[in-house]
Amino acid sequence: MRRASAAVVTAGAVLTAGALAAPAQAATPTPPTIVAKGGFVMNNGTGKSLFTKAADTRRSTGSTTKIMTARVVLAQANLDLDAKVTVQKAYSDYIVDNNWASSAKLIVGDKVTVRQLLYGLMLPSGCDAAYALADKFGSGSTRAARVQSFIGKMNSTAKSLGLKNTHFDSFDGIGKGANYSTPRDLTKLASSAMKYSTFRTVVKTKSTTQKVTTKSGGYRNMSWENTNGLLGSYSGTIGVKTGSGPEAKYCLVFAATRGGKTVIGTVLASSSVVNRTADAKKLMDYGFKK
């Protein structure tokens, strides 16, 4: 009888010790409050949605449109990134004519490569670089026709990616009222663009100096700074693109990798540069905890 009793006590002690050793359940993180009118975050590896706020409400996208501009270029068959494009006066005139047009400060007559135009497009958010790429990769006998052709490619790409709430009427986000997307769609677009190694390299670059050929055959250096304030201020940031405008307010498509996990997302219509960056940081913090 004594042996049986001892066995019972021992088993009870083991059960008690096991209960004490059980790890505490991690507290479920509280979804953050953001200033932006729309937001979305997903796990880039699984596609799982981690946060939504008006994620399917259509809004003006500003220069986040340029993600699609780059995506269309990079999807071209037999793309030669070192092919040279001569900067036309029309590109610089476009900057002058549009008050909200950000510029890569391309100089008429210079010969720049497609790769350099992608840096000029994505870092300083050059609308002149966007125009040059649309002119280069659109089809048609006139510049206007080529631009419309390129915008058509942007919309057909959106359709092929299943972006049902996205439409473009410009190559750079300075649209005529029919340039819109949603936080969810823009995040999916960015995720698709990040599959291109050139895109990944460009959008994680904080600054660059590029040597271009001048009209006279000499060389000049073009220096560009990335408008994405997350680079250098948020550990693990790998992109992606800022946007702003009178209608769009302040937008940011963002991505970061930590511990082998990549979160990617979008905020649309935040109230300032500072707040869109703060919104993105909150959402990434939350995404990494989920």
pLDDT tens column, 26-49: 678 899 999 999 999 999 999 999
8 A C-beta contact, residue 241 and residue 261: no
Per-residue confidence (pLDDT) for residue 27, from 0 to 100: 76
Query: What's the CA gap between 216 and 221, in Å, rounded?
Result: 15
Task: Mark whether 235 is an active-site residue.
Answer: no
8 A C-beta contact, residue 243 and residue 61: yes
Per-residue confidence (pLDDT) for residue 11, from 0 to 100: 42
Q: What is the DSSP letter of 167?
A: B
Options 60, 102, 103, 125, the catalytic residue: 125
Per-residue confidence (pLDDT) for residue 176, from 0 to 100: 81
Per-residue confidence (pLDDT) for residue 17, from 0 to 100: 44
pLDDT tens-place string over residues 216-228: 999 999 999 999 9
8 A C-beta contact, residue 241 and residue 122: yes
Count the neighbouring beta carbons within 10 Å of the beta carbon of residue 264: 28
**Cα torsion at 225, 282, 52, 66 (round to 10°)?**
0
Tell me the two tokens of residue 192: 């698709």
Residue reference for tokens 């048609």 = 140
Per-residue confidence (pLDDT) for residue 232, from 0 to 100: 93
Cis-peptide, bond into residue 240, ω within 30° of zero? yes
- Prediction pTM value: 0.90
8 A C-beta contact, residue 180 and residue 170: no
Options 63, 191, 192, 244, the catalytic residue: 63
Per-residue confidence (pLDDT) for residue 24, from 0 to 100: 54
Residue ranges in the chain modelled with pLDDT below 50 = 1-22
Task: Mark whether 63 is an active-site residue.
Answer: yes
Per-residue confidence (pLDDT) for residue 100, from 0 to 100: 81
Handedness of CA 75, 284, 239, 197 (dihedral sign): negative
Tell me the two tokens of residue 208: 């660059």
Options 66, 153, 249, 281, the catalytic residue: 66
Query: What's the CA gap between 290 and 287, in Å, rounded?
Result: 5
Task: Mark whether 125 is an active-site residue.
Answer: yes
Q: What is the DSSP letter of 64?
A: G
Per-residue confidence (pLDDT) for residue 18, from 0 to 100: 45
Per-residue confidence (pLDDT) for residue 10, from 0 to 100: 44
Give the contacts of 171 (CB within 8 A, at least 6 positions apart).
65, 69, 130, 131, 133, 134, 147, 150, 151, 154
